A and B are shown apart, each in its own frame.
Chain A
Amino acid sequence: MHLIQRMKIWKELKRLERRAQQEPSPSTFVDLGQVYINLDDAAKAMRVAQDGLALFPDSVELLKLRDFANRSKLKTDVADLAAKLQKTPSAKGYRELAGLQLDLGDAAAAHATCDAWSVRFPGDAGPWLVLAQSRLSNFYRDLSAREGEEAVRCLQRVLSVDAANARGHRLFGELAYRIGAIEAARKHLQAIPVDPAEPEVQAMLRQLSVVQELGDDITALLREAEEHGALPNAPAIPRGGQGREEGMGRIRDALAHIAELAGVRKATYIKGSRALVKGAIRDGKDSFLRVVRVVAKAAHRFARRIDIGNFNKGVIDGPFGHICICSYGEVVAAVQCDQGAATTEILAELQELVAGSLYMAGVES
C-alpha cells in the first residue's frame, strides 16, 4: 500500500476511534469495525464489535459485525494453519485445523483435512474421531440414517486403531443407547474407565437396565430412527432446571417475535406432545395445531418414501391464507398468516427458532 494511502487510512481510523469514544452508537462502532475488516484486521474488528456490544448488547448490526469478524478471523487462522501444516505436518495441527473448519461450517474441508491426517498418521485415531463427531452431529440433527452409518464406520475405525479410546467408546455407547441397541451400548459404556466428571456415562449405564432392547442390528435401528423421525431413548440426564427454563423463555420470546410479524395470525412451537402458542389460538384443540401436526408427519413420510431426504420446510396455500411449517426431528414450528404475507422471511424466522432450540438442547446436553 502506498504511504499516502496508509496515512489517509490511519487518519480516518483515528477519527472513527475518537467518534466511537465521544458519540458511541451502534453505527459508529460498525463503521470503525468495517474499516478494520477492509484492512484484513479481523482481530481488531472483533475487539470493536465486543466494545460496541458491551454498550449496545441488543444491536443486530453489532452482532452481525462480531459474527463476520469471527468468521474472518477463523478463515485467516485456517489459512495460516494449513500453510504451516504443508511445511511441518503434525497430528496436533491437523486436529486444530479440522476443528476450525468445523467451526466455520465447512464440513467438506474438515473431511479433506481428516483424510490427509489419516494418511500422514495412520496410527492416530484422531481423524476418525473428528469425522465421527461431525457425522454424529449431522445424525442427531437430521436423523439421517446415512450419516449415522458413516458415524458408526468412523467409530469402528477409531476403536480398531485404539481399542481403549474412551471418547470412541463413549460416542458409540451413547449412539447405541439412543437408538435402542442396548447390548452394544452396555459393551461400549462398560469399557470406559469410571470418571466422576462424566456423570452421563453412569446415568446411561443405569438407564440400560430400564429401557427396552430393540435389537443388535445398528443399521436397521438407524433406518428405523430415520423412518420414525425420533430416537427411541432420550438423553440419560434429563435437561432440566434453570437451563431448561431459560431455554423455554428464549423460545417463547422468539415465538412472540414471529407472532408479531406482519400478516401472522397464529404461531406455534411443538415438541412431542407439548405446544407453545402465540396469537389467535384459544386452546390446544385449535384446528391449526392439528393441521400442523398431521401435515408435518405426512410430509416426513412422503419425503422419506420418495427418497428426497427429510422434510424440513413447507408452505400450504388455501383460502385460509398460508400455513408455514418448519420441522427438524421431533420439533415443529409453524404459523398461519394472511395472503400476501412474506412467507420466505417467515420460514427463515421459523427455521432460526427451531435451529436455536435444537442448539440450546445440544448445549444443555
Chain B
Amino acid sequence: MKLRYGTGEHEVELLGFDADAIHVRIDGRELAATLDPLADGGAILAFDSRRFRILGARRKGAITVAVGSSNYDFVSVEPGTRSGRRGLAAPEITAPMPGKVLRVMVKEGDAVTAGQTLVVLEAMKMETSLAAESAATVKRVLVSEGEMVDHGAVLVELSPAAPAGPSDSQGEREAR
C-alpha cells in the first residue's frame, strides 16, 4: 500500500509474520522487526537495535499513529488516484490548518498573479496569507469571511491563467 505523510509518499508492504518477526518491505527495502503486542492495543516494535512503543488507529479516512510520544498522520493513497491535473502548481487553495476565514481578497473570474494573496486565515492567534502559486483565474470561491474551516478544506479553486485579452478569458468561461 502507498502511504502519504506530509509531502512524502512511501510504499509499504507487509510480507508476513513468523515466530520471531514481522517482515516488511518499505520503498523496496526489506526489513525484519520484532513485534510484541501490548494490552493497551499497542505494541513494542524493535529493529536495528532501536525499540519503539507504537499505538495507532484509523481516523476519518486517515491512519494516525504514535511512536513514543511522536504523532504521525498518514493518508492511504490508492493507486491511480493521484491528481493528474496539469497546468497549475496548485489548482485548489486549501486550508493548511483549521481556522477562521478572516478575509477573502478575490472573487470569481479574477485574474491573479503568482504570489498574490487570495485568502487570509486566522488560526493559532496568527494571520496566515494564502497565495496563488502561479498566475491563474479564480474559478470558484467556496468560503466567505467569518467562516470556520477545517484542515484541508478547499477555499478557492483556480483555473489556468488566461493569456492577456478579454476574448481569451471569455474562452475560459465557455470551457467550463
Q: Do A and B come from one complex?
A: no
Point out residues on B near A: beta carbons under 8 Å: none
